[in-house]
Structure 1
């Protein structure tokens, strides 16, 4: 199983989560929310080859942590993965748009200067703006939209830009999201948990709960879960090889 967006460092017992990931032979991208969290988060899983740690600065706290951009630049060459980064246009965060834009532009430029990264992107109520900015930084790397919630027009633009998409169990609880997933090419989709933030029935999701997303995708694709798993592993290998 593959979890391309999990907040392992924010789980109640990160070391136990890492052990369970290893026991299940999963592939997991452990995203961070601040550059200052990088060292500690990386150390949690540095001995586990199936877990990679991404360097991030979450848009919801960009205005509070913009001073950490030099730290971001310090660590950028230590990983092939960046996330969670992006923009958030929700009512409570849109007032910080200027800071969010400055942070994202800096990050994308830094990614380009470092040879390009696989980038896990947050784009809640800001998909169009994120795509516009990506167009200005073509060398930044490979964008992977985490829990995409933009409109159909935004989705078409993202697909045309060769973006990827990570889909989780909570996302597949929405009829609108399912309709969006149906439109995305099968070979651009990977699974995610977004745990422990994402929940189902009030329970925080763990990386291994991506199995629920595999089942959901198998229904959308009209195939057995085992076949859906094969598609996802093929996609994963393609994404990693393209870096």
Structure 2
């Protein structure tokens, strides 16, 4: 059935449409909220779990520095540290013994009043001050003394030949020789020192200088003082 066209109703509809503005409804933009809940949870979870500790190197005899505590070492590592420390201690002890030996040698051979070096210096001073030695060798300030000659120029005039012995009466005998040179000539010095059991220091028995072409020069001669007499025996022994 066809509807009946009514012009009045159509006009009213047109008026209503023209009065209302045409608006397009827009969907409101949704704002994304910033939330830190997830990173906070991640940070909390990371802080709660301890970081993995790096594995340390095994301690051996060659690489042990003592940084690792004794309680943290395994039985094998403890044995390695014990071996290393024992070796270090033995090295220190050997060094101490060698130092004491060198010190004793220096004192006995150089600094001691009864050392060979001290007697060498005293004999050299006596020769430089002796008038007859100055006449044969030259001025005392120009007389030099040295030990045995050597083929090596680096080791020349270093070694002083000497011997030490004790006789059957308990007297110590120290004998050595060295060489002297001066502007006028050269000579060989013979030194003989003795120390009886009742004495604390050596005394000169013989101090003589041999210069080629001249008579031996005696600076000290015990045989000449005593007339080459030998002490008599009392109850089978010599007492002086």
Greater share of helix residues, 1 or 2?
1
Q: Sort the TM-score into its range (normalised by shorter chain).
A: under 0.3
TM-score normalised over the length of structure 1: 0.18
TM-score (norm 2): 0.18
